[in-house]
Amino acid sequence: MIAENVKRLRSEIPDYVTIVAASKTRTASEILEILESGLKDVGENYVQEAEGKFEAIGNKARWHCIGHLQRNKVKRAIEIFDIIQTVDSFKLAEEIDKRCSYLSKKMPVMVEVNSGKEENKAGVLPENVLQLITEISPLKNIAVVGLMTMGPFTEDPEEIRPSLRLTRRLFEEISKEKIEGVEMKYLSMGMSNSYRVAIEEGSNMVRLGTIIFGERQ
């Protein structure tokens, strides 16, 4: 099942788009199937849940943090994750930088954008993203490599198109600023019900769960 789904998606989705398998609630053996089917990128939402899977699988996968990260989890998170997609404050960035400096690590991070400007939603408001990235850029043990967004939750992917378009525009504006230490490589947007629209709007990284693994329990 999983292997067939990956094969079908990989042939449909252009090669320049990285597929991150969103593996919350899935087992280590399901993740191993993902790796066998040729994907390498795996996204986890919770440090504690990722920990056990990381112990079983290790560096065979490239681990993305795609859930909200609390500062008191950073110490463990940087031992697991290869990239953190959900930086949404300077304080969080500073903590990642400090903890990485102890390990002589440089962590690629993305800034999560609250592109639907929703209250109580994770991410930075679009109008504050450039300033946050400018503030983060001097930190030596962090490299900003792109933007991530969820967009509003809706059944109809057309309803999130404006949020995705806004995020793409922001991505391009920030690229043009040529901020030292910032390389805007990844635009992470698109989930199972929205990845087609997201790719049309310029995404080069989609995070797919249900469409690969089936419905979550």
Question: Which residues of the chain form contacts with ligand PLP (CB under 6 A)?
Answer: 22, 24, 45, 66-67, 150, 191-192, 207-211
In whole angstroms, the minimum distance from the beta carbon of 68 to ligand PLP comes to: 9
Residue found under tokens 């699988």: 57
CB closer to ligand PLP, 132 vs 189 = 189
Report the residue closest to ligand PLP, judged by CB: 209
CB closer to ligand PLP, 45 vs 141 = 45
Among candidate residues 51, 58, 68, the one with its CA nearest the CA of residue 148: 68
Residue 55's Cβ-count burial label (10 Å; 0-12, 13-18, 19+) is exposed
CB closer to ligand PLP, 174 vs 189 = 189
In whole angstroms, the minimum distance from the beta carbon of 176 to ligand PLP comes to: 27
Residue 52's Cβ-count burial label (10 Å; 0-12, 13-18, 19+) is exposed
CB closer to ligand PLP, 43 vs 126 = 43
Type of residue at 88: D
In whole angstroms, the minimum distance from the beta carbon of 74 to ligand PLP comes to: 18
CB closer to ligand PLP, 77 vs 139 = 77
In whole angstroms, the minimum distance from the beta carbon of 138 to ligand PLP comes to: 28
The DSSP string of 112-169 is EE-TT--TT-SSB-HHHHHHHHHHHTT-TTEEEEEEEE-----S-GGGGHHHHHHHHH
Helices within the chain (DSSP H only):
2-12, 28-36, 47-57, 74-80, 90-102, 126-136, 161-177, 195-200, 210-213
In whole angstroms, the minimum distance from the beta carbon of 44 to ligand PLP comes to: 9
The continuous run of DSSP H or E covering 208 comes out as: strand 205-208
CB closer to ligand PLP, 129 vs 139 = 129
The continuous run of DSSP H or E covering 183 comes out as: strand 182-188
In whole angstroms, the minimum distance from the beta carbon of 155 to ligand PLP comes to: 11
